[in-house]
Structure 1
Amino acid sequence: MPRYVDVIEEMGDSFRIGGYVMPETSSNGGNGGDPGGAATVIWMFLGLLAGVALVAKVIVSADIPTGEPLPLKETVLLIALLLGPMLFLNAVSDQLIKEVGREKISWATYWTTMVSITVAALTLLGVTSINDLIDLIEAWKAHDERWGAST
């Protein structure tokens, strides 16, 4: 918490004459806290969201029947498409956390990089808003009804 000083105060290599002074812990270049598992959960959730969107788009566009068993190759491919974005974002996050630990980047750079990668991935998948997710769900329902009605 910042504190207000009225007098001349020695501040490391400099002096402060009145005004607000931030505590020493905030002058570490943004590397003060470790988000730990919270960051991993965030990126895994967003990666899973991207994977679900990717699998739904593939199933709808390739007109893959739902409710029928798939051949092993297609099953493995769809599982890889589902989990791939999540594992990719987790790997990038782990590497950037290592770079923060080596003090090569700050946490601000970590968050900016991760958000940029996630936004770019979702944009490439055509998910730029909640409306895009709603449209994808409606397309999935229409696809599912078409295949459900024929069986």
Structure 2
Amino acid sequence: MALMYLAGRMRPIQSDGDGWFAIRPGWIFHGLFVGCTLFVIIFVIALATLSNRSDWREQVTPLLLLLAGFGAAAIWTGWVSYSRQVRWNADQIVVRRRFGSTSAFPWSAVSKVHTNNLSGEYVLTFEDGQKVRVPTMMKGAKQLAEHLQRLGFK
């Protein structure tokens, strides 16, 4: 709850001068990524040093489970935060996807906007069926939601 409160208090993003705004990972995603990565490093070091102990077999399983969990969290956070770019201005929204493809949509092509409370994302659906998901805790997501409300979406 505290993280959600603090995420809502993030400073608004600024335009880059040409009227473009971009969704960027905020300190929550940076902190989660760095924290999970540090835990993975700590668990790898722990696994490397356990081979000197006589009871290492009993301790390997929990460490491997923790390593897998924190490793998966670090990969997911990096994938969500850094592999896609969403930018918008008054006329259109541009999405650069994970493997380099870029799509530009005029705002008139947005057919539906809803919030997925389970995953904490804004989901924009376009007339051609494509969807763009924007995590609500990303920096700039609140400004994007406000822009969509000004356009008539709820």
Larger radius of gyration: 1
Give 1 or 2: higher helix fraction: 1
Q: TM above 0.5, one fold?
A: no
User: TM-score, normalising length from structure 1?
Assistant: 0.32
